[in-house]
Amino acid sequence: MSGQHFNLLKTSGTARAGELNTPHGKVLTPVFMPVGSQATVKTLTPEDVKGLGFNMLLCNTYHLYLRPGVDIIKKLGGLHRFMSWDGAILTDSGGYQVFSLSPLCKITDEGVKFRSHIDGSEHFLTPELAIKYQEALGADVIMVLDECSAYGDGKEKIKKAMDRTHRWAERCLKAHKTKNQALYAIVQGGMFPDLRKESAQYLSALDLPGYAVGGLSVGEPKDITLPIIEQTTALLPPDKPRYLMGVGAPEDLVAGVARGIDMFDCALPTRVARNGALFTRQGRVNIRRAVYAKVDKSIDPTCDCYTCRTFSAAYLSHLFRAEELLALRLATIHNLRFINNLMKDIREAILDGSFDRFAKKFLSEYKTTDEQTRVAQKGKWLKGRAES
């Protein structure tokens, strides 16, 4: 990689504004990456995604490995060309989906044996193969293979997974040949501060271009997650980007940035959109509620998205009730634009040193109800993120 992968430009308390330099352009941080599991952000064209203000997204190696296959994408010129996306892409290692989607999942030091959730065929993933596949796909940022723990696992089990994650990180680093892909490590250690510290220090010593905080958003209460994030980022090198995987609820983005996170991805904004849950600065609204059937204004008159500029809540509500496919796209557009606007506001607040005030105001206005929290959190551990 020519030049610095990440520049830290400004801090406001623990919150950071910076920029990622990738072969597919500059990405301003903090950044939220929409999820395009199967080489498409569900319902949207690449032009739609760009038009919403995003220039980096995440694709899932597991999904693409199984279908259409890494070799096919490589022969067709790589993932960017395949999906006609000229912005930056981050691919994960495939490990997370193996642990969450495969009906079989047998882990040894060598790697992980799993079955396709599509046709039941058996596969074997190793750190070296995870790198090979991601190099073939050609993403701008790639991830090490890690062993994911579940919330509730005992400390011994979590330490064992963490140690294996460290060994796998070293094997990934050794296997990694391409110069223009930034390889990130993943800090594990569950909810145990001493393990998190050990993991952060171990991986920091490898001097990789970026670090993810893994093993969160797996069913644990938020009051446990946030201190762990805060503690972990404090131990990571300040000149490297920190990526919180699988987090994307508006309140969690603000809370994550407040704790030193630079990058996020999550299927939540697009998934809840397809269920009719739309973000506003006051919290989520459910467009399926009867009250919207006659509302002549847009869902959020302050929103600048195509959906809100063009259609009434009554029309959107009609599309959802009539089960029209356009509903899913219009709601996706709204939620992603909301997230992009939020990240822009967050960054501006950091740059002018007022992030703390911004975060307090946002979090006091943005209501999460029990129902919203239930939808936001994952029903079962790891199930939520895998389905985009």
Q: Which of 1, 28, 326, 363 binds a copy of itself (CB under 8 A)?
A: 326
Binding piece for a copy of itself, criterion CB under 8 A, among 7-15, 134-142, 154-162, 306-314: 306-314
Tell me the sheet residues that pair with 10.
Answer: 17
Residues 7 to 46: which contact a copy of itself by CB under 8 A? 38-40, 42-46
DSSP secondary structure string, 54-106? --EEEE-HHHHHHTT-HHHHHHTT-HHHHHT--SEEEE--SHHHHHHH-S-EE
Token readout for 287 is 């467009």
Name the residue nearer to a copy of itself (CB basis): 3 or 322. Answer: 322
Question: Residue type at 149?
Answer: S
Name the residue nearer to a copy of itself (CB basis): 63 or 176. Answer: 63
* Residue 112 touches a copy of itself, criterion: CB under 8 A: no
300 classed as catalytic: no
* Residue 289 touches a copy of itself, criterion: CB under 8 A: no
* Residue 205 touches a copy of itself, criterion: CB under 8 A: no
Q: Which of 289, 293, 365, 374 binds a copy of itself (CB under 8 A)?
A: 293
Least Cβ distance, residue 312 to a copy of itself (angstroms) = 6
Residues 72 to 91: which contact a copy of itself by CB under 8 A? 72, 75-77, 82-84
* Residue 275 touches a copy of itself, criterion: CB under 8 A: no
Going from the C-alpha of 239 to that of each of 23, 26, 144, 210, 235, the distances in angstroms are 19, 16, 19, 9, 12
Q: Which of 156, 223, 296, 370 binds a copy of itself (CB under 8 A)?
A: 296
* Residue 192 touches a copy of itself, criterion: CB under 8 A: no
Least Cβ distance, residue 81 to a copy of itself (angstroms) = 9
Cα distance between residue 228 and residue 215, in whole Å? 10
Find the helix or strand (DSSP H, E) in which 385 lies. Answer: helix 383-386
Cα distance between residue 279 and residue 299, in whole Å? 9
Dihedral of alpha carbons 255, 256, 262, 267, sign: negative
Question: Residue type at 15?
Answer: A
- Which is the catalytic residue, given 119, 265, 296, 356? 265
Find the helix or strand (DSSP H, E) in which 244 lies. Answer: strand 242-244
Least Cβ distance, residue 332 to a copy of itself (angstroms) = 9
Find the helix or strand (DSSP H, E) in which 157 lies. Answer: helix 155-175
Cα distance between residue 134 and residue 62, in whole Å? 10
Contact 92, 130 (CB under 8 A): no
Please measure the distance between the N-terminal and C-terminal CA atoms of the chain and give it in whole angstroms. 30
Least Cβ distance, residue 229 to a copy of itself (angstroms) = 32
Least Cβ distance, residue 282 to a copy of itself (angstroms) = 24
Least Cβ distance, residue 33 to a copy of itself (angstroms) = 18
Alpha-carbon radius of gyration of the chain: 20
Beta pairing, strands 31-33 & 263-265: parallel
* Residue 321 touches a copy of itself, criterion: CB under 8 A: yes
Binding piece for a copy of itself, criterion CB under 8 A, among 13-21, 65-73, 129-137, 276-284: 65-73
* Residue 104 touches a copy of itself, criterion: CB under 8 A: no
Contact 127, 171 (CB under 8 A): yes
Least Cβ distance, residue 341 to a copy of itself (angstroms) = 20
163 classed as catalytic: no
Query: What residue ranges bind a copy of itself (CB under 8 A)?
Result: 38-40, 42-46, 63, 67-68, 72, 75-77, 82-84, 293-294, 296, 306, 310-312, 314-315, 317-319, 321-322, 324-326, 328-330
* Positions marked active-site: 92, 265
